[in-house]
Structure 1
Amino acid sequence: MQNKYKGSKMKDLDWSNLGFSYIKTDYRFIAHWKEGKWDEGKLTTDNILHIHEGSTALHYGQQCFEGLKAYRCKDGSINLFRPQENAKRMQHTADRLLMPQVPTELFIRACKEVVKANEEWLGPYGSGATLYLRPFLIGVGENIGVKAAPEFIFSVFCCPVGAYFKGGLAPSNFITTEYDRAAPMGTGGVKVGGNYAASLLPHILAAEEGSAERKFADAIYLDPKTHTKIEEVGAANFFGITKDNKFVTPKSKSILPSITKYSLLYIAKERLGMEAIEGDVYIDQLDQFAEAGACGTAAVISPVGGIQHKGKFHVFYSETDVGPITRKLYNELTGIQFGDIEAPEGWIVKVE
């Protein structure tokens, strides 16, 4: 397939039918922290990491990651969406785990270099395909004690991914779990791998609770102190649209601060004229919401059809149709990401 953009070639992939899975691309970026400083970093074709067997990332979970996407615009240019916010979040996580911060300049430069080096893996405008970037930071080096690593690796790789919803935006159902995603003062507010490892079992159990008539996509995590308030929906943030047109999303120190969520809070207030609120969302007060959704980098928005809690199933707008406000939010945000709608200042970084 010949890419009409800049005369460059494009990989021969079925862009409209890509899933969300690992596909080896040509280049990734890697930088090393040693003796108190980062090196310049470089692109490499090697997708295998060679690390010491005593690395803290392997034994004590001293590691974190981020996720963001590159988007092909109608004019052929390439957008990164708010990468500085991903850099800030990784820096916050690094502080929590006693890892060296990756400077924002290094983080964004790495992302840009990876996108430019793998531009053939970014699909055409209109296909729904994007280039998913996975920056990560791990503790490595010779070690056996429970302490911070002597060395660290920062790397960014990428994979082409397709539109999350095949056949269009579609609601999913969820069920609450007795498992806690994070402790009240633990690592729930930072993007560490242990949070996701702990979610694997609740996810499987949630799926097993479903039936042929009603399937559950994932678990709803309640606040770890009281189990009365919604915190997260699987690996995504929750939001609801009240019957009096307010955008409401949970607020808690154990919720990962989603860049997508904060973008939607802004859009709801500034673009749709809604009152935007971060506050408590009680599981026994779902009747206040006309619509609900989960948000994150992969899906942008996953409409929530219904939530089951203690044997009672609550339907929001519909189990089969997407609510009008949810659709407006989705269209506005994706329009900004793909360059079709003017972005708020600073939200878009061009890859040139």
Structure 2
Amino acid sequence: MNGIDWSNLSFGYMKTDYNVRSYYKDGKWSTPTETTSENIDIHMAATCLHYGQEAFEGLKAFRGKDGKIRIFRMRENALRMISSSHGIMMAELPVEVFEEAVIKAVKLNERFVPPYGSGASLYIRPLLIGTSAQVGVKPAAEYMFLVFVTPVGPYFKEGFKPTPVVILRGYDRAAPLGTGTIKVGGNYAASLAAGHIAHEKGYSAVLYLDAKEKKYLDECGPANFFGIKENTYITPQSSSILPSITNKSLMQLAEDMGMKVERRPILEEELATFEEAGQVGTAAVISPILRVDDLDENKSYVISKDGNAGSVSTALYKKLRGIQEGDEPDTHGWVTIVS
């Protein structure tokens, strides 16, 4: 279709046919409607531009071997956007409006859903912004919600292959009682400088330590962290970590596979004991970790001894992708079939 090389897509933006928008005014949301415009016309004093009233989500749709299109865990994304709205005082978008807009955007752009077996997917980006013109620091009275989609390849160019990550003690992603638990753009802006340094040094991401004590593992760049040892799936417990829907799904699948699951504080030194580790999120699903370098402390924790993904990470990755693409039974009701 349109000469797209589905198997060699990057994780980037490609123009599609439509996006879908809904507006909040006078206390109510409008019915989602489509547009072909890629631009947003907002006032220069909009609260999203000055006071960070902006939240977004990321989810994916997949085409199965049966030709059907499946959206993965859409309701969880809708609920997380509500949590983000509460965190920065935006109007709450009803779950039903979120789901209607997402399904509409996928159906209208059905020809951009990559074919089964290509390794690509349709990335879905819901966005909620404050649009009221204000100079005083207070919540907006009006909001816009939009959903656009774009076909994407792997988030990390290496795909499902272990990569090194780095601890940079001079940077924090979010404060313990700040906005780390909600999905707002400010968290990602705060990660850009450290991420740039990491990439310049040849690392795929930054593994952040907790901002308060610099002792415990927090998030891994744009993703959650997990470690595997003694048949246990271990992921950090923290007041500044975004609750990843992919991580939540993998914890359930680990339990289904007979593993123990622990969400608890993880000291940096425990990295030396993990048999496997990875970054998890919508974009990459699982990106296995090769090693973790703490440059300030001159320490290196080698996770993958042979340079390959571990057996548990591989099994979890295949199981989750199988559910997303319809090759595995959807026993937990995670998938919405749109066509």
TM value normalised by structure 1:
0.93
Aligned length: 336
| Greater CA drift, 284-293 or 160-169 | 160-169
Please list every run of 5 or more consecutive structure 1 residues that lacks an aligned counterpart in the other structure: 1-9
- Percent same amino acid at aligned positions? 47
1:313 alignment partner AA: S
Is contact 2:20-2:35 (8 Å) kept?
A: yes
Q: Distance in 2 between matches of 1:319 and 1:105?
A: 47
1:196 alignment partner AA: Y
Residues 173-220 of structure 1: CA deviation (Å, up to 9, x unaligned):
011112111111000000000000010000112233x3xxxx311211
**Matched position secondary structure for 1:174:** strand
1:308 alignment partner AA: D
Counterparts in 2 of 1:235 and 1:296: CA distance versus 1, 3 Å:
same
Question: Which residue number corresponds to residue 330 of structure 2?
Answer: 343
Question: Which residue number corresponds to residue 3 of structure 1?
Answer: none
Q: Does 1:152 align with 2:138?
A: no
Q: Distance in 2 between matches of 1:302 and 1:136?
A: 25
**Matched position secondary structure for 2:234:** strand
Q: Distance in 1 between matches of 2:298 and 2:101?
A: 48
Q: Does 1:131 align with 2:119?
A: no
Q: Distance in 1 between matches of 2:75 and 2:2?
A: 29
Q: Distance in 1 between matches of 2:249 and 2:274?
A: 20
Matches within 5 A, 1:287-302: 287-302=272-287
Moved over 6 A (4+): none
Is contact 1:11-1:120 (8 Å) kept?
A: no
Matches within 5 A, 1:232-311: 232-242=219-229, 244-270=230-256, 272-309=257-294, 310-311=297-298
Deviation at 1:313, TM superposition (A): 1.1
Question: Which residue number corresponds to residue 182 of structure 1?
Answer: 174
TM value normalised by structure 2:
0.97
Q: Does 1:95 align with 2:86?
A: yes
Q: Distance in 2 between matches of 1:107 and 1:11?
A: 29
Q: Distance in 1 between matches of 2:132 and 2:18?
A: 24
**Matched position secondary structure for 2:271:** helix
Residues 220-246 of structure 1: CA deviation (Å, up to 9, x unaligned):
11111111011111110000001x111
2:266 alignment partner AA: V
Is contact 2:323-2:329 (8 Å) kept?
A: yes
Question: Which residue number corresponds to residue 6 of structure 1?
Answer: none
**Matched position secondary structure for 1:186:** coil
Q: CA RMSD in A?
A: 1.2
**Matched position secondary structure for 1:318:** coil
Question: Which residue number corresponds to residue 195 of structure 1?
Answer: 187
Q: Does 1:48 align with 2:34?
A: no
Is contact 2:162-2:304 (8 Å) kept?
A: no
Matches within 5 A, 1:164-183: 164=155, 169-178=160-169, 179-183=171-175
Counterparts in 2 of 1:219 and 1:12: CA distance versus 1, 3 Å:
same
